[in-house]
Amino acid sequence: MKPEVPKTLQLLGTKLLFEIAPRLADDYGQKTASIIGGLLFTAAEEWDRAASRRFVENRELRALFADAVPLVRSAGLRTRLASAAEETDEDLRVSALEQSNATLRSLLIDLHAHVETLQSEEALRMDERIWDELRASVERRAISFWPL
């Protein structure tokens, strides 16, 4: 038998939500079991998409950085952006992808702060692109079934 993590988490969540929680005598216990059941469904969804979401986001951020390099006036920031744009994710473990993502998102904050100081059409377009990526990032993290 090969336990599939998403299916196992969904089965556990279903048992808690629809079999165990309704049988608990006190309201607190019912609500706690229901919350845990919902969290198991969330964990199942995140397990399935965890690497893909981070891989895609890292790729998008690097492409954005590559396009931002000519616009940036700070030599230090320009160097950091160019370096990050050339990197790739070789280690596809979620922990490694998450570490890369945290570094890239920190660099995105620095880029965004810099772009907001610039007065040009290119800077306005880059600012909009940054906001587009931030919106896309939120959409990638959305839980598809919530509320139940």
Q: Is residue 146 part of a domain?
A: no
Q: Is residue 147 part of a domain?
A: no
Q: What is the pTM of this model?
A: 0.84
Q: Is residue 38 part of a domain?
A: yes
101 in Cβ contact with 57 (< 8 Å): yes
Burial of 11 (0-12, 13-18, 19+ CB in 10 A): middle
SS3 69: helix
| pLDDT in the model for residue 2 | 80
- pLDDT, tens digit, for every residue of 68-92? 999 999 999 999 999 999 999 999 9
Q: Is the pLDDT of residue 133 over 80?
A: yes
- The tally of domains found in the chain comes to 1
Q: Beta-carbon neighbour count of residue 109 at 10 Å?
A: 10
Q: Which residues contact 86 (CB under 8 A, 6 or more apart)?
A: 62
- pLDDT, tens digit, for every residue of 3-15? 899 899 999 999 9
Q: Is the pLDDT of residue 131 over 70?
A: yes
CB-side exposure of 103: number of CA atoms within 13 Å?
17
Mean pLDDT in residue range 16-34: 92
Q: Is residue 66 part of a domain?
A: yes
Q: What's the mean per-residue pLDDT of the chain?
A: 94
118 in Cβ contact with 71 (< 8 Å): yes
- Our CA angle for 123, 81, 142, nearest 5°, is 80
Q: Is residue 79 part of a domain?
A: yes
Q: Is residue 88 part of a domain?
A: yes
Q: Beta-carbon neighbour count of residue 4 at 10 Å?
A: 13
Here the contacts of 16-23 (C-beta below 8 Å, separation 24 or greater) are 16/40, 17/148
Supply the range of the domain harboring residue 30.
5-141
Q: Is residue 27 part of a domain?
A: yes
Q: Is residue 94 part of a domain?
A: yes
Confidence class for position 130, pLDDT limits 50, 70, 90? very high
| pLDDT in the model for residue 144 | 82
